[in-house]
Structure 1
Amino acid sequence: MLLVRDNILTFPAKLQTEAFEVFCYHLRKPVDQQRLEKKDPHYWITESLTVIRKLGWAFFDRDPVSKKRFVECWPHIFKWMKALLKVRLVIDRENQYSAAVGEIYHICRSVYPNAFREDEVIEFAIQAWIGIEIPDGEDCFTARALLTSLETFGRRSDTDYRRFDQALQACNATAEDLVNLIVSRLKWEMLQSSSMNLLKVFNISRMLATLMPLHRSYCLPFLKSSPARCFVAVLKALMDHKEPSLHRTEAIRTILTVMCASLFCQTIEYALYIMEEGILDLLPRVASSGIESEFASKSQFTSMATDILNQLLLRLACDPDMIQISFQEVEKLFSGNSRMRTLVNTTPKKFRDTWNAFEDVLLENTIVMRLIERGCAGEDSICFNRECRKLAPREEFKKCSGCFFALYCSTSCQTSDWKSHRAGCKTIEGNFLAILRNSSFRFTRRMHTMHVNRHWSAIVRLARKKGIPLSDIAVRISCDKFPFKTQVFDYHTLLEHKKESPHLALAAKEELRQSKEKERGSMVVVLHILEMDYPFIVHANKKWTRAVSNPPPKTKDQERSSFVDEDGNELLCKEVDAVCAAIRLTKKYASEEGTTVWDKVTVHRAVSESTVDFLREVLEGLDFFKQESNE
C-alpha cells in the first residue's frame, strides 16, 4: 500500500486509473462508527484519500473515465471525509488528512463544481476550518477546503451571501468567529518566527481576501483592533523573513490587499490601529523591496503601499487623534535615523511623492491643531434668531436639540425663532441627524473653518470668475482625494435637494434666512469626508488669518498647498499667516539645531514664536465683539 501511495505519480496512466478504481472500491464501503474507534481501522480509507490528493486535478481533467468515476464516487468520498473529521486528532498524522481534504475540494471544483451547490459541502468546509483548538499548541484545522468553497462564490451575489451565512449558522458560527480564528492562527505562526510555515500563512491570509468581498457586513470584523494590529505584525514578520519564496510574496500581497480594502471602508479607527502598530515603518520597505511574483509585478506592490499611505493621508484631514499618532510615529521613524530618510528618498517616484505630501499635510495640520489649542483659530457665529443676530464666538451658542445645526444665544431666542425654523428642523432625521449631531466632527469643522478663512481671497476670486454673487457663495471641500478639491458654487442649489440631502438643504435655508446679515461675510461649507457630506456655516474672520508682523523668509523647500480648485490649480495663501510662519520657523529651527521638523520642542517653539505678535493683535481687537453686540 505504501509503495502504491508513494509512487503513484510514476505509474503509467492506465495503471493509475486501475489503482484509482481499487481505492474507489474501498471508499464505497459504508461508514461503521464502531470500526472507526478500533485501532487503525481507517488505514485503507486515509490512504485512498491520500492517493486521490496525489493524483491531483490534472489527472482527472485529462482522463474522462476517471473523471466520471470521481463524480460517481464523490458521495462516498465526502461521507468518509465527514466521518474522519470526528477522529482527525488521531488520524491526521503529518497533516495527511488535512492535505487530502484541501486537495480533494480543489479537484472537485474543477471536476465536479455542482457539488458546491450542496449546503453540506460548504458546512463541512467551515467545520474543517474551525477545527479543534488545542491549548498551548497548534490548532488542528484545514484551510484550503473553505478557501475553495469561498472561491466558488465568484459572482459575490446576495444569493451566495445568504447561502454562506446559512451555512455559518448551521455550524453555530459567525463571520466574526472566522476572523477571530484567522487572527489567532496567524499569531501562532508568527510565534514560530524561526520556522514560520509560509504556506500556512499564505493560506490563512488568503482566507481574508476571499471572505471580505462576499458581503459588506463581513468587512466589519476586519475593522476591529485585533485583526488590524495582527495584519501589521504579520506584514512585519513577512518583511523580516530572510528567505524569499512565492508563498511569502503572495502572503504579503494578500495582507496589503486586505489593508487597502479595509481602509476603503472609510473608518477612522482602522487607520488609527494600523498607524499605532507601525505601518509607516513598513510601507517604504514594501515600496522599495523589489518583490514580485507571477501574480503581481514590482509596480503593483509599490502601488498598494502608495494606496495605503494615501488613505492614511486623507484621515489627517478629519481627526485630531490621527494627526497626533501620525506625528509620534513619524518622530520615531526619523529621530536619529538617517537610514529611513535615505530609504524614503530611494523609493519609486509615485510612492515618494505621496510620502512627501503626507509629511506636508501632517506638519500643516499639526500646527493648525496647536493653534486651535492655543485659542488662535476660533469660530464665529451669529444667533439664528432673525430678531437677534448676535455675533460672537461659536462656543457662546447652543445647538437646537432637534436638528443640531441651528445656533442660539439663549432659550428665549430659540423659542422666538421656532415658528420660522420648525419646518426645516423637522426634516432632519435618521442618518442625516446622526451626521449633524456627531461631536467627533467638531475638530474637523474648526480645522476647515481656519482653512476656508486662510483661502478666503482665493474663494472670492473663484466665485467672481463663475459669476456667483459674493452673498451667494458656498464651498464644497472634497477630502476623499488628495489634493483636496475646493469647489465654489451658489448655495441656493442645495435647496433643490431637500429629499436626498435634507441636512444640506437646511444649511442653505438657514443661510438664506441670514441674508440681511451677509455683509458680515458668511458662507455654507459642505465637507465631503468619509463618504458623507457634513455642512456648516463659516463666518469670515481675518483676525485669525492675518499676516504676521515679521514673516520669516521662505525655506529652500517648495511651499505646496493641500487644496486645489476644480481645475487642479493650487489655492495659495497670499499672506504669511500664523500657519505659514510656524511651518517656515519649524524648518528653520530644525535645520539650525540639527533636529527634524518632527521634534515636539521645535514645533512648540515655532508655533509660540509665530503667534506672539498675532495674539497681541487679537487681544487688542477684542472690543470688536462688544461693538457688534451693541449695534
Structure 2
Amino acid sequence: MEVTEQYFRKNPQKTIASARNESLPACAVVANLWQVIPDAISLGVLDVFFHHLSESKAPLPTTTEVDDAVFALPVLSLLGLGHIASLPSEQVSALGDRIMEAWPGIFEWCFSLYPPSVSPPSVVRDEKRDSATRAISFCWFSIAQNPRVRESMRSTPGAIELATRLWVREDTMKLPSEVMFPVPSALLDVLLIPQQSKMLSQIVQASEASPSHIAKLAVARLTAASTATPVDLYGIKYHTNLIFGLTCNPDHPLQGALFKAKVIIATTKSLVAATKDVDNKDPLIAFSMVRLCTYLKTFLEVTDGFRFVSQSLNAGLLVGLAYCGTRLSDVTTEERDVITSLISSVVSRYLVYHSVIRAAKTSMHTVKTDHLILYAKVFDSVLRQAWESFQALLDDRVENSDDFDESEKPDHGCANAECSGRSVPRESLMKCAGCQSVLYCSKTCQIADWKRGDHKSVCKALKQNAEDEKAAAEQTGETDPSKTDRSFFQFLVMRDTQIRFDDLRQQALRKFPKEPLTSMVVKIDYTVLPPIFTVEPLSKVKNPYLPSSNGYASGEAIIRQFRRNPGLGSLIFGCMPAGRSKTWWMFTFENIWSREVTLRH
C-alpha cells in the first residue's frame, strides 16, 4: 500500500497504526505531516515516535558500523518530534510529562546516532551524518521549548557535549526548504546557561578545539548571515543569541577569545545589515536590532571601553543607530532606552578620547553624506533630542581635537618651575632617564628640580607606575590610552579649565573663603554628562587613585611635593571613562589662578 499525504488526511488512524507497526512509508508521512492533522495527538501520533525511540530498543555503543536500516524509524521519529515546536506554547507545556518520560530513550538513540567520535569509524557513515544532525537538532530544539524538559536535558550527562558536536557541523547540514533558521545554533543557545563556567568548558572540550576556534567559528557564522544576499535575518537572530551566551561569563576564556575574534566589529556590521532595508517590515528586524544593540550596550565597556567604542564607530555604529531610529515604533520603551543610551551615554562619554572623536567624526560624516535621507529621518524621530545633543557635543569636541592637532600637541615645558626657558619647544627637551616622563631643558634644571622640588621620590613612583601598568596590561589584555589620547585629554582639561575659570574661581571663594586661591585643585569628572567641575584645597585633597592601583604611589608623591612647595604651580585632576571603571589623571601646570598666567596649550 502506498501511503500518501492524501491517504493520511483521509485515514489518519490507520496511517498512524501502520507507522507504529514499523511501516517506513507510513512513518515518513506521519513524521512530516502529523502537525496538520487536528486530532493527531489524541490518535496517538506521539506514542508512535516514543515507541520507536524506546530506551530498551536503543543499540549498545559500538565502534563498528551497523546497517543504516536500524536507524531509519528512529530518525523519522526524531523528525516527527521536531514538529512539537509548531504547537501553541500551552500545548507544548501540557506535553511535559510525556516527553520527560520518553527523554532517556530519545537521548540513548541520539547518542548512538551521533557518538563522541566525529570521524569514522562510527556507527553512522559520515556521509549520512548530515541527516542525523538535522533530525537530532530539530527534535531537541523542539522539546526544549518545555522548561521542565529543558532542565532535564541540561542535567543529562553528555547532552551538552552532543549539542556542541551538532553545532560544530552545522555548516554541512542541509536545511529543508521550510526551515529558515540554523537549528544547531538555536539548540545550543536554548540549552546554554551563560554564567555557568562548567557548561562553557563542556562546550570547549566537546568541540575538540580551543576557545579561539569556537569564537572564530561563531563570529564567522554571524558575519556570513549579515553579508548574505538577501540578509539572513534568522541567522543573525540565532547566531547573536548564541554569541551573547558565550560572551557573558567574564571569568571564562571564551569571552576574551570572542573579543579577539573582533566580535564587536561583527555585531556592529550585523546591526547595519539587519536594519538598512527601511521598507522591510519583518518583525525579525526589530528583534535582531534590539538584541544587537543590547549586546553592544553590554560589552562595549567590558575592558578599557574606548578601544571597543572606536572599533564599533569605525564599523558603522552611528549608521546602524540611525537606521534603528526609523523602527522605534516596533519596540518597547525599555528597548528604545537601550538603543538611545548607546548614543546619549556610551559614545558621548567617550568623546574625551582623541581616537574616539576622530572615529565618531568619520562615522557621522558617512551618515550625513551617504545616508542624507536617513539623516533627515533621524532628526524627525523620537531620537531627535538624543541625536541633537550628541551632534552638539561631537561638534565641540571635534573643534577641540582640530585645535589640538594644529598645535602639534601641547608643549610640556621644562619641569623645573624656576627655569626661565619653560617655553622651550618640546623637541629641545630631554626626558629624565629614570621615569621617562618628566622633561628638562638641561642637566642644570634637572639637578635644581631634584634638590628643590624633590623629583627623586616622584621619579621612583612614576617609574614603578609605568612598570605596574605594563604588567597589568599583559595580564588583563586591556589597552592603555595612547600618548595622543592622553595628550589630547590634557589639552581638553586645560581648555575647559580656561572656559570655566570664572565659575571655578567663584566656587573656590564661596566654598573655601579662608583658603588661598593658589592652593586650589581643580577636579573635572568627564564620566558623567555634562562634566562636573569642582575645586578643593590642596591641604584636603585626596589621592584620586585607589591604593591598589598603579598610579597611587606617583599620585601620593606629586601631592606631597606640591603641599611642601605650593609655588610649583597648580594641580588639575581629570577623570575619564575606562570601561566599567574610571581613570584619573593628574596634571601639573603653572599657577592657573593668576590673571597674568595663561595656560599653555
- After TM superposition, give the deviation of residue 30 of structure 1 in Å: 0.5
DSSP-derived class of the 1:209 partner = helix
* C-alpha distance in 2 between matches for 1:38 and 1:508: 78
5+ residue gaps, structure 2: 1-26, 119-123, 474-478
Match of 2:71 in 1: 42
Match of 2:373 in 1: 339
Match of 2:554 in 1: 506
Q: Indicate conservation of the 8 Å contact 2:523/2:573, yes or no.
A: yes
- The correspondence for 2:191, drawn from 146, 149, 156, is 149
Q: Indicate conservation of the 8 Å contact 2:164/2:207, yes or no.
A: yes
Q: 2:86 matched to 1:52?
A: no
- After TM superposition, give the deviation of residue 17 of structure 1 in Å: 5.2
Q: Deviations over 1:434-472 (max 9, x none)?
A: 799963422322232222233233222222222154233
* C-alpha distance in 1 between matches for 2:414 and 2:138: 73
- After TM superposition, give the deviation of residue 143 of structure 1 in Å: 0.8
DSSP-derived class of the 2:575 partner = strand
Match of 1:457 in 2: 502
* C-alpha distance in 1 between matches for 2:443 and 2:349: 39
Q: Indicate conservation of the 8 Å contact 1:527/1:534, yes or no.
A: yes
Match of 1:190 in 2: 226
* C-alpha distance in 2 between matches for 1:337 and 1:59: 47
Q: Indicate conservation of the 8 Å contact 2:143/2:150, yes or no.
A: no
- The correspondence for 2:315, drawn from 251, 260, 277, is 277
Match of 1:5 in 2: 31
Q: Indicate conservation of the 8 Å contact 1:382/1:389, yes or no.
A: no
Equivalences for residues 597-612 of structure 1 within 5 A: none
Give the counterpart letter for 2:300 in structure 1. Answer: L
- The correspondence for 2:200, drawn from 164, 175, 181, is 164
Match of 2:305 in 1: 267
- The correspondence for 1:314, drawn from 349, 374, 382, is 349
Inter-CA distance 4–532: structure 2 relative to 1 (3 Å threshold): same
TM-score, normalised by the number of residues in structure 1: 0.72
* C-alpha distance in 2 between matches for 1:220 and 1:503: 25
Match of 1:442 in 2: 487
Equivalences for residues 161-560 of structure 1 within 5 A: 161-194=197-230, 196-215=231-250, 218-224=254-260, 226-241=262-277, 242-265=279-302, 266-292=304-330, 296-297=331-332, 299-310=333-344, 311-319=346-354, 321-335=355-369, 339-348=373-382, 351-375=383-407, 378-379=410-411, 381=413, 383=415, 391-392=422-423, 395=426, 397-400=429-432, 403=435, 406-411=438-443, 413-414=445-446, 420-423=454-457, 425-427=459-461, 428-429=464-465, 431=468, 439=483, 440-467=485-512, 469-491=516-538, 492-495=540-543, 499-501=547-549, 503-504=551-552, 506-507=554-555, 509-514=557-562, 518=566, 521-530=569-578, 531-540=581-590
Give the counterpart letter for 1:331 in structure 2. Answer: H
- After TM superposition, give the deviation of residue 272 of structure 1 in Å: 2.3
- After TM superposition, give the deviation of residue 301 of structure 1 in Å: 4.2
Q: Indicate conservation of the 8 Å contact 1:101/1:142, yes or no.
A: no
5+ residue gaps, structure 1: 547-617, 625-631
* C-alpha distance in 2 between matches for 1:118 and 1:457: 69
* C-alpha distance in 2 between matches for 1:358 and 1:517: 42
Q: 2:54 matched to 1:25?
A: yes
Q: Indicate conservation of the 8 Å contact 1:475/1:486, yes or no.
A: yes
Give the counterpart letter for 1:15 in structure 2. Answer: G
* C-alpha distance in 2 between matches for 1:145 and 1:289: 29
Q: Indicate conservation of the 8 Å contact 2:415/2:439, yes or no.
A: yes
* C-alpha distance in 2 between matches for 1:95 and 1:42: 13
Inter-CA distance 402–389: structure 2 relative to 1 (3 Å threshold): farther
- After TM superposition, give the deviation of residue 289 of structure 1 in Å: 1.6
DSSP-derived class of the 1:260 partner = helix
* C-alpha distance in 1 between matches for 2:554 and 2:161: 51
* C-alpha distance in 2 between matches for 1:187 and 1:528: 33
Q: Indicate conservation of the 8 Å contact 1:27/1:80, yes or no.
A: no
* C-alpha distance in 2 between matches for 1:519 and 1:341: 53
Q: Indicate conservation of the 8 Å contact 1:103/1:144, yes or no.
A: yes
TM-score, normalised by the number of residues in structure 2: 0.75
* C-alpha distance in 2 between matches for 1:275 and 1:257: 16
* C-alpha distance in 1 between matches for 2:524 and 2:360: 23
* C-alpha distance in 1 between matches for 2:533 and 2:503: 10
Q: Indicate conservation of the 8 Å contact 2:435/2:459, yes or no.
A: yes
- Report sequence identity in percent: 14
DSSP-derived class of the 1:203 partner = helix
More helix per residue: 1
RMSD of aligned residue pairs (Cα, Å): 4.2
- After TM superposition, give the deviation of residue 347 of structure 1 in Å: 1.8
Q: How many residues align?
A: 534
DSSP-derived class of the 1:316 partner = coil
Give the counterpart letter for 1:452 in structure 2. Answer: T
- After TM superposition, give the deviation of residue 523 of structure 1 in Å: 1.7
Match of 1:597 in 2: none
Match of 1:584 in 2: none
- The correspondence for 2:111, drawn from 79, 87, 90, is 79
* C-alpha distance in 1 between matches for 2:591 and 2:399: 19
Inter-CA distance 118–391: structure 2 relative to 1 (3 Å threshold): farther
- After TM superposition, give the deviation of residue 378 of structure 1 in Å: 3.6
Give the counterpart letter for 1:489 in structure 2. Answer: E
Match of 2:163 in 1: 125
DSSP-derived class of the 1:358 partner = helix
- After TM superposition, give the deviation of residue 253 of structure 1 in Å: 1.5
Q: Indicate conservation of the 8 Å contact 1:476/1:528, yes or no.
A: no
Q: Deviations over 1:121-169 (max 9, x none)?
A: 222222222216569x99997112311222x35xx2xxx2144225413
Q: Indicate conservation of the 8 Å contact 1:287/1:302, yes or no.
A: no
* C-alpha distance in 1 between matches for 2:565 and 2:457: 22
* C-alpha distance in 1 between matches for 2:156 and 2:491: 56
Give the counterpart letter for 2:44 in structure 1. Answer: L
Inter-CA distance 18–101: structure 2 relative to 1 (3 Å threshold): closer
Inter-CA distance 209–412: structure 2 relative to 1 (3 Å threshold): same
DSSP-derived class of the 1:13 partner = coil
DSSP-derived class of the 2:528 partner = coil
- After TM superposition, give the deviation of residue 500 of structure 1 in Å: 3.7
* C-alpha distance in 2 between matches for 1:337 and 1:202: 25
* C-alpha distance in 2 between matches for 1:16 and 1:268: 57
Q: Deviations over 1:81-103 (max 9, x none)?
A: 53497657525459742542542
* C-alpha distance in 2 between matches for 1:190 and 1:313: 27
Inter-CA distance 63–255: structure 2 relative to 1 (3 Å threshold): closer
